[in-house]
Structure 1
Amino acid sequence: MKKNKSIIIFLIKFFVTYFLLVTFYNSYLQKSQQKGDVFKTSSITKAVADQTVKVLSFFGYQVAAIQHDKEVSVKLIIEGQYTARVIEGCNSISLIILFISFIIAFSGAFKATFLFAVFGSVFIYIVNVLRIAFLTVMIYKYPHKVGLLHDLVFPAIIYGTIFLLWVVWVNKFSNFKK
């Protein structure tokens, strides 16, 4: 019975946290994005695109991030060529919400839970910007591999990162460690 209680508590904590964070994030998106005659992405999505530009510029690429005029996305132009776009789903916030929900559901001491959620979220965000930069360059250099890169390599990087953080959390910091 104790094992079932632990599972039920995990599920309640996970879904309550997830629901609250998603509700807050969706409210933010409703207020910050614009669709219709004029399109505008959320400031977080724009920041991810701009930071991707900074990373690629650091490596010597001529790159720009331009608000798409026909959809809620930001175009990434590398060496004068429209190569990729950053949409809301690319900004890592939905994945950070999932990550935090899991950390809270498998919570440890408050301080450890809070710090791991914050630093893990920052790490996921940074890895995400780097993966978008990597994907943009790879699509620019190998446009015939866009399916492989976007559908397999791209998700493997971010989901692999989150999975490894979860493993570290459960084994080192949570109250469920053995």
Structure 2
Amino acid sequence: MIATSIRITAVLLVVCGILYNLAVTGIAEALMPKQARGSLIYAEDGTLVGSELIGQPFTDPGWFHGRESSIGYAANGSGTPNYAPSNPDMLARTEEAVKAWSEANPDVPIAQLPIDLVSNSGSGLDPHISVAAAMAQVPRVGKASGVAETELIQLIQDNTKERELGLIGEPVVNVLMLNLDLRELKK
């Protein structure tokens, strides 16, 4: 009885723990190799820039900024505190983020501050912001980078991902991809 249990465990370990994973990885590599490798983005010189799937901290005023991350954009884990809006820590963090926003973006009234620029995503790794959040940053980025606001607006429009199947979600902008296009425009 014990020998049978050990044999079944060994067979299931090989089938479920090794063969299944190899099959799924092989199929993914064959059908969608970029996604199977993490949607990595490389610079022209071959250096790794980042992933389309993981947000990065941009703090320079000449670049578009992403969402807040309570985990410091650490891709080895994800999550965020599940605070209620009335939680004192959440209120203090949000007030601090609003204050920092108003200091960095004096041309944009706080009433026009999109909430996703001062709040976390569920994973803490979200690379996307709303179109309104990108547009609200145009005056600051334009002044700091020297790029005309009309060109920045066009970049945002070019980097806007519409709703899935035209129905699901909201239009979003991938901050890393937007900043990479901005870098090309600055050259």
Per the shorter chain, which TM-score range? under 0.3
TM-score normalized by the length of structure 2:
0.25
Select the structure that is richer in helix: 1
State the structure with more CA Rg.
2
